[in-house]
Amino acid sequence: MFSKSGVYVATRGSIHTIPVLRYVHMKTRKLAVAIIVYFFSSVIYADGVPVSRFGPDDTIGAINLLSPKKVLEAAKLIKTGKTYALGMVTGRDTPAYPPRTYDIVILQPGDGKGATQGSNLLTANDDILRTWIGIGSQLDGLAHIGVDHVYYNQAKAEDIVATTGMLKYGTHDVPPIVTRGVLLDMTAIFGKPMLNEGEVFNTPHIKKAMKRQAVNITEGDVVLFHTGWHSLLGKDNTRFGAGEPGLGNEGAEFLSSLNVVAVGADTWGLEVVPMEDPNLVFPVHQTFLPRNGIYILENMVTAPLVADRVWEFLFVLGQPRLEGSVQAIINPIAIH
């Protein structure tokens, strides 16, 4: 911001004036601007994570882009009323990122042996779930991935992480996500029913799929990719979990520039594994979560949508509100 005395520069809640633009030669002014741009970049991208464009106190990221108007526009996509469960069934045999596991125990209240209660002979069952939350179809919240212990909106681990639950960015605070959903079929672009592990798609593939399906991606959308990878479930779980086709980082940057709210796929980790650069570990997660506040949806069930050629729909997600959770086991609904 310019003033008569110089330039106002905001740094972590403070405002400093750099008196470099008053009464200076044009060439000097250009140099000063370059210095300020460098200064800004060093502040805004401190620790490799920017201050949120939604403000230094923001905690919900790209969900800020949603609005009642967006919901009403998305509702107009309902043509048949058919609903699609985008969440998979999660159980003991569900492949999961190591060492994540799932277990459930069924109990009968009372004496624990199924005794009846009252003169009406009431019997019942209850359950205890012992599971990692990042298993099956899941939402990755903003606390899931950081850059050198710095998370979305420059939150430092020591300020937000506790063993008893996240102090900030818990998925219990994620507002409902009701918006336009877009499905892009990568199997059609690659010309085969299932992409292979390590097979990456980026901006050219995304644009080609959009053109083929006659859809575009607009601000506030949820974008899902179909790769066919879920066809391995129950047939070759070992291969399913050892790698995956997926989004590359250049494609993630492109989607970020389109101001999407969330990105998902029918794979366990969304991005390509092995990674494009073997020296990087889950760079797409870093692009979306800490740097752009864009949520990630994993293990989405997309095949039924592809079978019906449903490329856009009303997307509805209300995740479990488990206090302090990093992720959430979810079952979003697509309505066409």
Check residue 124 and give its pLDDT.
Answer: 84
Check residue 264 and give its pLDDT.
Answer: 98
Check residue 129 and give its pLDDT.
Answer: 94
Check residue 107 and give its pLDDT.
Answer: 83
Nearest alpha carbon to residue 287 among 140, 180, 77, 171 = 140
Domain ranges of the chain: 7-44, 61-93+133-335, 102-131
Check residue 18 and give its pLDDT.
Answer: 38
Strand duo 138-140 + 312-317: pairing: unpaired
pLDDT tens digits, 168-195: 999 999 999 999 999 999 999 999 999 9
CATH fold label, 61-93+133-335: Glucose Oxidase; domain 1 (3.50.30)
For 199, the token pair is 């097979």
Q: Dihedral sign, CA of 223, 207, 294, 283?
A: positive
Q: Rounded distance, CA 223 to CA 218, Å?
A: 10
Check residue 123 and give its pLDDT.
Answer: 83
DSSP label at residue 133: S
Question: Taking a C-beta distance cutoff of 8 angstroms, is the pair 143, 156 a contact?
Answer: no
For 188, the token pair is 């059609």
Give the angle subtended at the CA of 51 by the CAs of 316 and 321, to the nearest 5°. Answer: 30
Q: Cβ atoms within 10 A of the Cβ of 181, count?
A: 32
Q: Rounded distance, CA 194 to CA 303, Å?
A: 11
Secondary structure (DSSP) of 167-190: SSS-GGGPPPEEEEEEEEEHHHHH
Q: Rounded distance, CA 116 to CA 121, Å?
A: 5
Residue numbers in the chain where pLDDT is lower than 50 = 1-27, 30-46
Q: What is the 3-state secondary structure (H, E, C) of 267-319?
A: CCCCECECCCCCCCCCHHHHHHHHHHCCEEEECCCCHHHHHCCCCEEEEEECC
For 153, the token pair is 């909106």
Secondary structure (DSSP) of 60-107: SGGGGG--HHHHHHHHTT-SS--EEE-SPP--TT---STT--EEEEEE
Q: Is the peptide bond before 68 cis (omega within 30 degrees of 0)?
A: no
